A and B are shown apart, each in its own frame.
Chain A
Amino acid sequence: MFDILRIAWRNIGRNRRRSVLSAAAVAFAVAVLCFSMALQQGSYAQMIHNTVRNRTGHLQLQHVDYWPDRELTKRMTGIDTLMTAVADTPHMVAAAPRIQTAALVSSDDRTFGATIQGVSPEAETMVSTAADKVITGRFLTDTDIDGAVLGSMLARNLGVSAGDEIVFVGQAADGSIAAGTLTVTGTIQSGMSEIDRSLVIMHVRHVQTAFSMPDAATEIAILLESDRVRSAAHDAIADCLRAVKAEHVAVVEWPTVLPGVEQSMKLDWISGLIMYVILVCVVGFGIANTYLMAYLERIHEFGVLLSLGMRPRLLSMLVYLESALLTLAGIATGLAAGVPIVMYLNHVGLNFGKQAETLMASYGLSAVVYPQLSPLVVGCAVGIVGGVTLTLALYPAIRAANLKPVEALRHA
């Protein structure tokens, strides 16, 4: 076996230029795939991070029937019990109760429809980045029961700023009218106009009172150490809930809350894979010629080997090994070249420039993307390139297995 390997290796060296060119093509394909898959994965990580930190949290506790109606009647109660129950779950960083609903908000002479988000200020600051987006005034504190933080455009449209009063009117959980007066403490700018035009953040206690839903919340957002531990944390929290007999509460993961984000990543990944396979086929056919030639030009020589008593199976293996070794050398070179480049870019980031910034923001990305190398990326790159090229290498090997010594010897 070792001899066969050595012979195969030597044979590769017989036509150096051709071998180097072919291995270089394989290396090129591996490096390109590593880079662009890492770029995709890096942008997904950023999308997940932004989604989780700006909107959903990794996990949410919700009333089992909350989706898809999202009515206040389908709310969770016993919030303090729930918060305590899940507080010590492994991987959990922070949790924050929220109430999402809609209402009309008015200043002295103007009224607008608004998305109400009742939050528990200190807890919310731990889970989401809302407090970092304050542009005027300040975010709520736990004692600001009657305070409100407004989306910047909403505040402008209402003609109010920090210190002014606004009134909200909505529909309480029991169907009665919910109303109250709030003092604006600050405004925030998220960069997404529909949010900036409609968001009102107020204290969850105020929402509970005004909307007749004491000790209730529509969701508890949970931030984890990372997205990787999501399903483990999901199970642990589900166990905690069972322990406190909270049958009306379900744990949902962020892809359930915002399916679009995850599906858009899947769509991007799948369409990427299709194009990679086509690209690797182009490279593969280019290399297939090397494999085939390495076989065709030595038919006479193989005839001699077979006449001397070499088994056809061994010969076929030799031919295949040559192609395989060449491919492996290419893959190794490709990884050796690609991995450090991707690692470096992971460190410094890949800047798409000012021009792309607003557009990328709308996909939940910033203009600098950090490519992320993972076993999945390397596995896919090596798998696609190796899979296609090693399949193409089968053809000369099969031909070699069926070679007739006499005919081969007659071959010019």
Chain B
Amino acid sequence: MSLLIKMAWLNIWRNKRRAAILLMAMVAGLVGVIFSLGVVSGWISQMIDTAVGTTESHVKVMATGFHENPVIENHFVPPRALHEHLRTDARVRGWSDRVQVSGLLSTADQSVLVTIIGVDPVAETTVSVIPNAIVKGDFFTAARTSQIVVGDRLAQRISKGIGKKVVLTSQQLGGELGAAALRIAGVFDTGNSGFDEHTVYVRKDVLQDMLGMHDEITETAIALHDIDMTEVVSNDLRRRVQSEHLQIYTWQERLPFIVQTLSLSKRMMAPYYGIFYLAMAFGVLNTLLMAIGERTHEIGVLMAIGMRPRNMILVIVMESFMLSALAAAIGLTVGSTLVLWLGHTGIDLGSLAAGANYFGLGRTLRPQFDPGMTAAAAVATIAIGVIFSLQPAFHAVWKTPVEAMNSRNA
């Protein structure tokens, strides 16, 4: 057996250039697959991070009906049991009670339709990235209460900076119109232009006053330490807070869009990776047929002096196995390094940022290393090497020793 392995190994390097070229083909293929796996998984996770990190959070508690129809009539007063449970659950990183309504933001020159989110600034910091995405001013200061924090796109559109006054108008709980004059305390930039143009933050108590509410809120956003615990934590919550007026949603339920993208991208990418492997398979087949064609005579001699066809096949398959294993190792190293490095530095989408927003991305794309899929890609490379060596291997022992020895060339 060890002799056969040695034969196979030496056979590979009989034509170094040819082996190197095949190696390059397989390495290029594997690196391409690992890279695109990294890009897709980075894209999806960024999409989740952006949505979950800005307003969605991992788990949300809402009044029944608010999910389908986000209007202020669908409000609730957070039950004590909910807060107590959240305080004692170690998996919970933080939570934020919010009031969310749509309304008009007006300046002397124009009115813009916006989503108004009323938050407690400290609590919001534990669940959302917005307090850390402030580019000008602060995410509310202690000094004044009538403050508003707007996105940079909106600030540009209304040509207003820190300290300038705007008016918010929305319908009160009773049906009357509520309005409040607020000064801009801070400007945030999430990289998502649509969000930055149409979302504003005010203090929860200010918004509650404006809307004629007392302790009522429209949602409790809950952030977890570990996104994978979403299902478990939300099920615990459902058991703890049993009320027909309240619904508990996981981010997957709130963002079916992302879940669909995930499943569609998997379905769409499968044939695409298949093409890469097919291209590799072709390289293996082409090169091995060539290598064996040259050795027809020699194979005939080996068989004439008593080498079993089974062992001959084994040598050829082994040859391909070792070469593709080597390709898998190199490809894995190069591909993973590339993905990890680009994940670290990020790919700057610069001038195409508005387009990237369409795919739920910000200005930079960070590919993400997916160990499971990457390992699978490497294993598939080796499998291709083995499977596509079978035909040439059987072909090699097809001829009788005499026929083989008589042939000078393939």
Contact = CB atoms under 8 A, between A and B. Distances in A.
Contacts, number: 200
Interface in A171-187: 171, 175
Nearest 4 CB-CB pairings of A with B: A263-B355, A286-B283, A285-B25, A111-B171
Interface string A105-123: 0100111111100000000
B62 to A, nearest CB: 16
B159 interface: yes
Given A28-B282, A198-B113, A283-B283, 15 more contacts: A15-B410, A22-B286, A29-B279, A73-B109, A106-B171, A110-B175, A111-B170, A115-B113, A263-B351, A263-B355, A285-B283, A289-B283, A290-B290, A296-B15, A355-B260
A368 interface: no
A226 interface: no
B86 interface: no
Interface in A120-147: none
B257 to A, nearest CB: 6
B385 to A, nearest CB: 13
Contacts of B24: 285
B28 A282 contact: yes
A300 B136 CA distance: 75
B366 to A, nearest CB: 15
B106 interface: yes
Given A68-B156, A71-B109, A278-B32, A263 B356 contact: yes
Contacts of B29: 278-279, 282
B352 A359 contact: no
A267 interface: yes
Contact of A69 (B15, B157, B293): B157
A111 B359 contact: no
A397 B106 CA distance: 72
B387 interface: no
Q: Is the interface of B mostly helix, strand, loop or mixed?
A: helix
A189 interface: no
B157 A68 contact: yes
B111 A261 contact: no
B318 interface: no
B359 A264 contact: yes
B299 interface: no
Contact of B287 (A271, A286, A363): A286
Nearest to A70: B157
Nearest to B25: A285
Question: Which of B29, B69, B285 is most buried by chain A, counting CB atoms within 10 A of its CB?
Answer: B29
Contacts of A170: 104, 111
Given A70-B157, A171-B106, A282-B283, A112 B289 contact: no
Interface in B337-379: 349, 351-359
Interface in A247-283: 259-267, 270-271, 275, 278-279, 281-283
Nearest to B153: A68
Interface in A335-378: 352, 355-356, 358-359, 362-363
Interface string B245-271: 000000000001100110110000000
Interface residues on A, range: 35 or more
A162 interface: no
B280 interface: yes
Contact of B279 (A103, A111, A171, A282): A282
Contacts of B18: 289, 292-293
Contact of A264 (B104, B175, B356): B356
A286 B113 contact: no
A83 interface: no
Contacts of A401: none
Interface in A151-191: 153, 156-157, 169-171, 175
A85 interface: no
B112 interface: yes
A279 B271 CA distance: 13
Contacts of B280: 282, 286
Nearest to B68: A153
B279 A279 contact: yes
A286 B358 contact: no
Contacts of B283: 282-283, 285-286, 289
Interface string B106-137: 10111111100000000000000000000000
A38 interface: no
Interface in B34-82: 35-36, 39, 69, 71
Interface in B281-305: 282-283, 285-287, 289-290, 293-294
Contacts of B156: 68
A113 B193 contact: no
Contacts of A264: 352, 354-359
A358 B264 CA distance: 11
Contacts of A25: 279, 282, 286
A352 B257 CA distance: 16
27 contacts: A32-B275, A69-B158, A71-B109, A72-B110, A101-B111, A104-B170, A111-B175, A112-B171, A113-B103, A115-B113, A153-B69, A198-B102, A198-B113, A260-B358, A263-B353, A263-B354, A264-B355, A264-B357, A267-B352, A270-B352, A278-B31, A283-B25, A283-B282, A289-B286, A290-B290, A292-B17, A296-B17
A405 B410 CA distance: 26
Given A157-B71, A282-B29, A362 B110 contact: no
Contacts of A17: 289, 410
Contacts of A288: 21, 25
Nearest to B356: A267
Given A157-B69, A292-B18, A278 B28 contact: yes
A359 B289 CA distance: 46
B276 interface: yes
A114 B111 CA distance: 10
A15 B296 CA distance: 15
A285 B22 contact: yes
A21 B284 CA distance: 11
A259 B351 CA distance: 10
A53 interface: no
Given A263-B353, A267-B359, A288-B21, A171 B286 contact: no
A275 B32 contact: yes
B111 A267 contact: no
